[in-house]
Amino acid sequence: MTSLPPFVLFFVGALVVALTKGAVRKAVVLGVPLVGLGSLWMGAGQDVAASGPQLLYQLELIGYTLTPFRADKLSLLFGYLFHIAAFLGFVYALHLGDGAPDGSVAEDVGEDDVVGNGTATLQHVAAMLYAGSALGAVFAGDFITLFVFWELLAITSVFLIWARDSERSYATGFRYLIIHVVSGVLLLSAALMIAHRTGSIEFGAVPLQGAAGWILLLSFGIKAGFPLVHNWITEAYPESTPTGTVFLSAFTTKVAVYALARSFAGADPLIYIGTAMTFFPIFYAVLENDLRRVLGYSMINQIGFMVAGIGIGTAMAVNGAVAHAFADVIFKGLLFMSMGAVMTMTGRTKGTDLGGLYKTMPITATLCIFGAAAISAFPLFSAFVTKSMIMVAAVDEHHYIVWLFMLFASAGVLEHAGIKIPYFAFFAHDSGIRTKEPPKNMLVAMSIGAVLCVLIGVFPGQLYALLPFEMDYHPYDTYHVVTQMQLLVFGALGFITLVKSGIYPDEKRAVHIDAEVLYRRLGPWLVRTVGGAVARVDAAVRASVMGVVGSVLGAADRSHGQMGPLARSWPSGSMVLWVAILLAAYLLFYLWEFGL
Amino acid sequence: MSEHLPALLVVVPLILAPVAALSNRPRAAFAAAFAGCWWALYASLALLTRVRSEGVISYALGGWAPPYGIELRLDLVNAFVAVTVATIGAVVIPYAWTSVKKEITEDRIPLFYTAFLLMLSGLLGITVTGDVFNVFVFLEISSLSAYSMIALGQDRRALTATFQYLIMGSVGATFIVIGIGFMYVMTGTLNMADLAERLPAVMDNRTIPVAFTFLTVGITLKLALFPLHLWLPNAYTYAPSAVTAFMASTATKVSVYLLLRFFFTIFGFAFAFGQMRLNMVLMPLSLVAILAMSLVAIYEINVKRLLAFSSVAQIGYMVLGISFGSVLGVTAGLLHIFNHALMKGALFMAMGCVMYRVGSVQLSKMAGLGKKMPWTMAAFVGGGLSLIGVPLTVGFISKWYLVQAALEQGNWLVAGLVMIGSLMALVYIWKVVEVAYFQEADSDVEIREAPLSLLIPTWVLVIASFWFGIDASTTAQVATDAAELLLRGGS
């Protein structure tokens, strides 16, 4: 039994969502991911299990073969994941269009923080198309199809940013769009070169040599948030609506991780790029006050583990990378959902504006802690059974320094995501905000996410069975559990000591300095110097690039703008003069070529 | 009758032109034009089919055997171009009926259809003839009728635009005839095939490069290769909408054909590219055309003018393909002749719909049109996607061949510049989309969707631009065969 390409259902669903309202629409947005998941599991999933990879709906285009639906274990895993993520996202966003949630205090906050709910239709349609595009991309069997969905991902998701409906979200969305369109053009360029060299546009492994390989890597890298091209993540995600960010965090970067796993498994540079990604965002995350932006940095950090795993390239490492992607979508989604709930109810996401919310939002607080435990890789939670595969693979392949950096980064995760997020939002000093629990659908979505985090952590076998490569791995042996518990317990212990002794007057500064001292034994000055230096270099590079861009645009405007010499209407005499000049120039040139 | 088809292809519209003029009634004139255009489409398709199955068709006009008499000679190259011209004519003419009624005063409408028929027969004549002097004659017929049609535009600036086009067009035509004259002096013949045979014997004479020069300047002026494009933007902007759609999709394309015919068939590839190194001239100019003109389009605020500058850039793509002097490159150039005719025709026709309802194509007047004229703006987006080169559109096919041609010669720079050109197209199309879809309209202005008589022809071209983007096998095959024919030098 074969099934339609998964994106078709979502695109049709988007159309239906656009045309319906109320209960019907709610049924559609929940039904599409569930039906899609079922048909994928029963259709292509069973076929792959029975008879290996499937190439479906192939067609010819100017001598090349397009494959809109390639099902194998790798693409299926991401296919299932995206269906689940879409379902969670839609459950979470189900209340959109029902008016402001009961008990929200968004009215009395500053102009800057007012939550734009956007229009429900726009967000649902965009999210539906966006999820469909992500599915189209992971099931694409050739670079042209991939390119189409690659660009669609950008075009559909930007509406989730614009749905915030503010000046700033508009500008942010535009920059986001440009970056992603550039990534798509790079992808197409690389595809053209690959087609020229090999005569095939199959989306498969690409050797990292020659311009084609590197351009392709850059294209994927932009979407994956490689260092220096990562800014779109931390800029755009906090600008989206509370519900939009949940979708954004699930798809784009994971499609990039999939593409990297498909084309560049075992490419050495990825190990170091990934390792860099695991630790550099930590410096930014500790300095950051907007909790959703902290999660953005945390996202880069998690993707770093996946990228490094793909770079290591052994069966265990790649399995670990894709499994971690699977877990990450759920626990990062859960964290974004909990922050979105806070934002929906209070209109704020800044650490300094929040605190003490556990009194009025105890369920949200509990669920957020589940997500925090999962991202910190506590045993019995999802990241523990996935991230450890990458770490083990690093040791197996003798990448000890890489392993050390990852360990440092893991501790950083605990600090900036595992403790900082729930602590500042729900505990710390009491901000005096009294609100209610978010709408039920949000609580349901978060609960499902929390349950999944635990299920994966407790029964990893189910997830392992879906992984693309055969392997024999048991996360719950003494060594793993003890190492991880040491890391976590000492980190947490330090934090508790500080809280009890009341050392920090200003929570923002105190936490990042003191926690660093405790579990990394680095002086606070080091964090400031390193963080500051990185930020300064980053700012300088950006300022100079913007300067160059500005002057180029100025020059272009002068020559090509409305009244510039290239754009204005010319008098007839000057036109004819050009003819004469060209005639003379050609004559000279041709006679010269002719040998006079 | 079928053996006279090459002559009838040109002669039927030519005879219908005075019929349209003499009838002096809009309806009758339209009927004549409609008949002429659809006849041309039928005849050109029949001829292309015959050329594909039987090879070159040579037709001796009046029974005078070539090279003494005038020969009409059809091979894959010009049959392909003739089909392109006739297709656009057949699609534009039903569109013209409604559009012209709004934009041209009634007493001049019969003259408009007369000029339209004359221009069509002129363009087809240039395409099918095997005689270089005949080329000049038909060139003048098509140009003069084009001038008169542009002058019919509502805007008073149409007159100055026409006047400038008249001067520049005449200079171009004169240069071409001077070039032809030099060749005639050297060889004593005007027949293309005969010229190709006799020219090698006199190649070492300095007259030949001079003829070559005049022809280069004359033809590149006619096809609006940067920097000889200056006549084009205003002419396209101020002409009536139907005229712009027809001219933009055909006139410059036929000139590109002339470039191919003169430099590949008559002078021969070896001389034009080997000795005279034509590519050294064409490649940089076409690259400047692509980049500079796209940039101008980005800043332009009159959408018709924006599309006109975009046309100059697109002509750059065609010439760029040709300048590679390889089968792939010439294939890309030929394909883009057809593909660009489809997409730019659709875009200009969509602007004609806007003109019909809004009365202006200034960007500022188009706010909120995405809601008020959904089908028109959707057609614009469809054509725009093609212009950008999105997969599954014809634009993608052209760009694909072009970049493959560049990579084949290891010319990474050019391949990169083509991609940048696509990005710039994205910017100027987006600019229009943004205003039409994301800006709020003035609520006090009542604007309805354009009538079906305008929308249907527009959408025919939009759908065709997707159709031939998905199933490109026929067009690509014809273009590749034609390119091989040209590079073999003969016909």
pLDDT digit string, tens, across residues B226-264: 888 888 998 999 999 999 999 999 999 999 999 999 999
Percent of chain A with pLDDT over 90: 29
Q: Chain B neighbours among A 21-80 (CB < 8 Å)?
A: 60-62
Tens digits of residue pLDDT in A462-484 = 888 888 888 888 888 888 788 88
pLDDT band at A518 (very low <50, low <70, confident <90, very high): very low
**Residue A381: what residue type?**
F
pLDDT score of A581? 87
Report how far residue B435's alpha carbon sits from residue B451's, in angstroms, rounded to the nearest whole number.
Answer: 22
User: For A233-269, b where at least 16 C-beta lie within 10 A, e where not — what string?
Assistant: bbbbbbbbbbbbbbbbbbbbbbbbbbbbbbbbbebee
pLDDT value for B386: 92
Estimate to the nearest angstrom the gap between the alpha carbon of B156 and the chain centroid. 25
Within 8 A by CB and 6+ apart from B224, the residues are B231, B232, B252, B255, B311, B312, B315
Q: Mean pLDDT, to the nearest integer, of A318-333?
A: 92
Q: How does residue A509 score in pLDDT terms, banded at 50, 70 and 90?
A: very low
Among the partner-chain residues A211, A570, A578, the one whose CB lies closest to the CB of B412 is A211
Kindly indicate the confidence band of residue A110, based on its pLDDT and cuts at 50, 70 and 90: very low
- Torsion angle of C-alpha atoms A522, A525, A527, A532, degrees rounded to 10: -160
Tell whether B404 lies on the interface with A, counting CB pairs under 8 A. Answer: yes
Query: Is residue A232 predicted with pLDDT exceeding 50?
Result: yes
∠B234-B238-B239 over CA atoms, to 5°? 110
- A179, A273, A170, A182: which is closest to A231 by C-alpha? A179
**Is the predicted ipTM greater than 0.85, yes or no?**
no
A590 vs B171: CB contact, 8 Å cut-off?
Answer: no
> Taking all residues of chain A, what is their mean pLDDT, rounded to a whole number?
83
Annotated domain spans of chain B: 277-491
pLDDT of residue A306: 93
Q: Which residues pair with B101 in a beta bridge?
A: none
Choose the most confident range, by mean pLDDT, from A197-206, A573-582, B39-48, B446-455: B39-48
- Contact of A181 with chain B, judged by CB distance below 8 Å, is answered with yes
Distance CA B240, CA A583 (A): 32
Reduce the secondary structure of A450-498 to three states and give it as a string: HHHHHHHHHCHHHHHHHCCCCCCCCCCCHHHHHHHHHHHHHHHHHHHHH
Mean pLDDT of all residues in A323-342: 92
Distance of CA B286 to the CA centre of its chain: 16
**B285-315 pLDDT, tens digit each:** 999 999 999 988 988 889 999 999 999 999 9
| pTM of the full structure | 0.81
Ranges in chain B, pLDDT < 50: 491
Of B163, B167, B403, the CB nearest to A192: B403
For residue A513, the model assigns a pLDDT of 35
- Distance from the B24 Cα atom to the nearest Cα atom in chain A, whole angstroms: 34
pLDDT above 50 for A516: no
What's the pLDDT tens digit per position in A60-98? 877 788 888 999 889 999 999 999 999 999 999 888 877
Percent with pLDDT over 70 in chain B: 99
A22-47 per-position pLDDT tens digit: 888 889 989 999 999 998 988 888 88
Residues of A in contact with B172 (CB under 8 A): 579
Nearest to B476 among A62, A562, A590 (CB): A62
Is the pLDDT score of A555 beyond 60?
Answer: yes
Per-domain boundaries in chain A: 265-539
CA distance B160 to chain A (A): 9
**Alpha carbon distance B40, B93 (integer Å):** 12
Q: What does the pLDDT read at residue A100?
A: 63
Across the interface, of A181, A572, A578, the residue whose CB is closest to B164 is A572
Task: Say yes or no to pLDDT of A118 above 60.
Answer: no
**HSE-CB for B113 with a 13 A CA cutoff:** 37
Question: What are A127-171's pLDDT values in tens digits?
Answer: 999 999 999 999 999 999 999 999 999 989 999 988 887 888 888
Which pLDDT belongs to residue B462? 94
- Residue A506's pLDDT is 43
Compute the radius of gyration of chain B from its Cα atoms. Answer: 21
* Higher-confidence position of B327 and A52: B327
How far apart CA B108 and CA A86 sit, in angstroms, is: 61
DSSP state of B363: G
In angstroms, the CA B280 to CA B319 distance is: 12
Closest chain A C-alpha to B142 CA, distance in angstroms: 21
Under 8 Å CB pairs connecting chains A and B tally to 120
